[in-house]
């Protein structure tokens, strides 16, 4: 007799079928319609979900969220996470937030080390890919505190998962959009990075540059478009404004921007101040700065990902690491290409 994790009676009640029919399906006997087999499979899946819900009943989780990022992004992610927390019922999930716009690696390590003596059930972190940060994550995991990296990965650490987009693919998508919209013009592209210490920004830049070269080669121009880079802007509007101003003064042919790190209001101001036109402007994340810029047409497109889906995934992965769930897998977030015509 084939053993099953649920009694035939339970499955029959869930499926609304007779016990005899369910028994035939479980033993793979002939004479059962395909849709009836599907109903039994769905019933088993539903019972799995109910078992998981029962396992979460009464469970309490306290997660710490650590992010080094411009305030506009951390505010968007906090709002998304807080909107998702009630959806994690019947478990009770609370979060503590630790946000910094700028922070040294030593300060980030100090923040992470604080949780080793606290009752944290998991940590979500956006941090530089640095050996000291990886070691701090390893210390947390060794103490039984699971860690999820978000937006940017620290792959050499013992983190249980990375949650976010495929950053190299995002850079390649940006290159395709920029190159397509520029057409046959010989315009130079300005790349703006927050800092070179974040892995996600480096991956986006590599994806962008390599795809731009490939697209140039397809046109018979193996060197591709010229690229000018600004780094260490910290995504702060005033710093970005000053550095873009300097770049525009030094390069008359800049007519496109790929903003990897933000500060896009400063970019728009710099072009306006110089009396120059930005023909194509691609950025990341539909935050409080980018929404009006996209709506006005100052931004050509925004590469976005569903922050609520990311928050839900990060929480559920940490809950799984704590024995509250199972079946979660490490998947990349879909990249959404938003314009002023399809932005929510």
- For residues 181 and 154, membership in a common domain is answered with no
What pLDDT is recorded for position 328?
67
- For residues 173 and 294, membership in a common domain is answered with yes
What pLDDT is recorded for position 35?
84
What pLDDT is recorded for position 317?
92
Decide if pLDDT at 335 tops 80.
yes
What pLDDT is recorded for position 55?
56
- For residues 181 and 292, membership in a common domain is answered with yes
What pLDDT is recorded for position 213?
92
- For residues 178 and 270, membership in a common domain is answered with yes
Number of domains in the chain: 3
The residues pairing with 126 across neighbouring beta strands, listed in sequence order, are: 67
What pLDDT is recorded for position 1?
38
The verdict on residue 344 lying in a domain is no
The verdict on residue 343 lying in a domain is no
What pLDDT is recorded for position 119?
80
What pLDDT is recorded for position 49?
65
Could you tell me the CATH number of the domain that includes residue 327? 3.40.50.2300
Q: Is the pLDDT higher at 270 or at 92?
A: 270
Q: Is the pLDDT higher at 21 or at 211?
A: 211
Closest residue by Cα to residue 299 from 262, 247, 252, 246: 262
Decide if pLDDT at 221 tops 90.
no
Q: What is the mean pLDDT of residues 281-292?
A: 92
Q: What is the mean pLDDT of residues 284-303?
A: 94
Tokens of residue 310, six digits = 């990311």
The verdict on residue 2 lying in a domain is no
Burial class (CB within 10 angstroms; exposed 0-12, middle 13-18, buried 19+) of 145? buried
Report residue 22: phi and psi, to 5°.
-60, -40
CA distance 230 to 162: 27
What pLDDT is recorded for position 195?
75
Burial class (CB within 10 angstroms; exposed 0-12, middle 13-18, buried 19+) of 136? buried
Q: Is the pLDDT higher at 324 or at 131?
A: 131
- For residues 241 and 295, membership in a common domain is answered with yes
What pLDDT is recorded for position 2?
45
The verdict on residue 338 lying in a domain is no
Burial 273-299 (b: 16+ CB within 10 A, else e): ebeeebbbbbbbbbbebbbebbeeebb
Contacts by residues 71-80 (CB-CB < 8 Å, ≥ 24 positions apart): 71/99, 71/101, 72/262, 72/287, 72/288, 72/289, 73/262, 73/285, 73/287, 74/99, 75/287, 75/288, 76/285, 76/287, 76/288, 76/307, 77/150, 77/307, 77/310, 77/311, 80/307, 80/308, 80/310, 80/311
- For residues 34 and 67, membership in a common domain is answered with no
- For residues 146 and 181, membership in a common domain is answered with no
Q: Is the pLDDT higher at 230 or at 102?
A: 230
Please work out, in degrees rounded to the nearest 5, the angle formed at the alpha carbon of residue 202 by the alpha carbons of 200 and 208.
Answer: 100
Q: Is the pLDDT higher at 202 or at 28?
A: 202
What pLDDT is recorded for position 53?
56
Check if the beta carbon of residue 291 is closer than 8 Å to that of residue 343: yes
- For residues 75 and 103, membership in a common domain is answered with yes
pTM: 0.78
Q: What is the mean pLDDT of residues 109-124?
A: 86
Residues in the chain: 344
The verdict on residue 65 lying in a domain is yes
Q: Is the pLDDT higher at 13 or at 260?
A: 260
Q: Is the pLDDT higher at 172 or at 71?
A: 172
Alpha carbon dihedral 292, 295, 297, 301, in 10-degree steps, equals 90
CA distance 226 to 172: 16
What pLDDT is recorded for position 310?
93
Check if the beta carbon of residue 274 is closer than 8 Å to that of residue 248: yes
The verdict on residue 92 lying in a domain is yes
- For residues 136 and 231, membership in a common domain is answered with no
The verdict on residue 82 lying in a domain is yes
- For residues 181 and 156, membership in a common domain is answered with no
- For residues 182 and 281, membership in a common domain is answered with yes
Q: Which of 19-23, 134-138, 269-273 is the least confident region?
A: 19-23
Alpha carbon dihedral 135, 139, 144, 149, in 10-degree steps, equals -30
User: Tens digits of per-residue pLDDT, 117-141?
Assistant: 668 899 999 999 999 999 999 999 9
Task: Share the mean pLDDT of the chain.
Answer: 88
Q: Which domain holds residue 283?
A: 167-304
- For residues 150 and 232, membership in a common domain is answered with no
How many Å is the Cα radius of gyration of the chain? 25
How many percent of the chain have pLDDT more than 70?
A: 92
Place of tokens 């909107």: 83
Contacts by residues 252-256 (CB-CB < 8 Å, ≥ 24 positions apart): 253/186, 253/187, 253/188, 253/226, 254/187, 254/188, 254/189, 254/190, 254/228, 255/182, 255/185, 255/187, 255/188, 255/279, 255/280, 256/178, 256/181, 256/182, 256/187, 256/188, 256/189, 256/190, 256/280, 256/281
């Amino acid at each position: 007799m084939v053993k099953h994790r649920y009694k035939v009676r339970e499955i029959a009640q869930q499926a609304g079928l007779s016990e005899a029919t369910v028994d035939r399906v479980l033993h793979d006997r002939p004479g059962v319609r395909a849709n009836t087999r599907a109903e039994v499979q769905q019933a088993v899946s539903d019972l799995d979900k109910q078992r998981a819900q029962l396992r979460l009943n009464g469970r309490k989780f306290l997660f710490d969220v650590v992010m080094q990022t411009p305030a506009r992004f951390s505010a968007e992610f906090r709002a998304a996470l807080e909107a998702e927390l009630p959806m994690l019922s019947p478990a009770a999930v609370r979060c503590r937030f630790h946000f910094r716009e700028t922070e040294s690696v030593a300060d980030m390590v100090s923040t992470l080390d604080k949780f080793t003596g606290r009752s944290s059930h998991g940590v979500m972190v956006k941090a530089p890919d640095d050996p000291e940060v990886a070691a701090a994550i390893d210390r947390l995991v060794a103490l039984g505190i699971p860690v999820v990296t978000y937006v940017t990965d620290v792959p050499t650490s013992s983190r249980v998962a990375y949650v976010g987009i495929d950053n190299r693919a995002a850079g390649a998508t940006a290159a395709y959009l920029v190159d397509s919209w520029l057409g046959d013009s010989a315009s130079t592209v300005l790349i703006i990075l927050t800092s070179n210490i974040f892995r996600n920004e480096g991956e986006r830049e590599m994806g962008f540059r390599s795809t731009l070269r490939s697209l140039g080669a397809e046109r018979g121009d193996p060197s591709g478009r010229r690229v000018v880079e600004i780094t260490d802007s910290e995504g702060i509007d005033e710093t970005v404004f000053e550095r873009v101003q300097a770049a525009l003064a030094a390069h008359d042919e800049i007519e496109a921007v790929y903003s990897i790190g933000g500060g896009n209001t400063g970019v728009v101001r710099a072009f306006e101040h110089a009396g120059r036109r930005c023909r194509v402007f691609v950025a990341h994340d539909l935050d409080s700065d980018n929404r009006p810029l996209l709506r006005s047409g100052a931004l050509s497109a925004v590469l976005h990902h569903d922050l609520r889906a990311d928050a839900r995934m990060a929480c559920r992965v940490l809950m799984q690491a704590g024995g509250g769930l199972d079946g979660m897998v490490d998947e990349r977030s879909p990249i959404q290409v938003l314009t002023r015509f399809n932005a929510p």
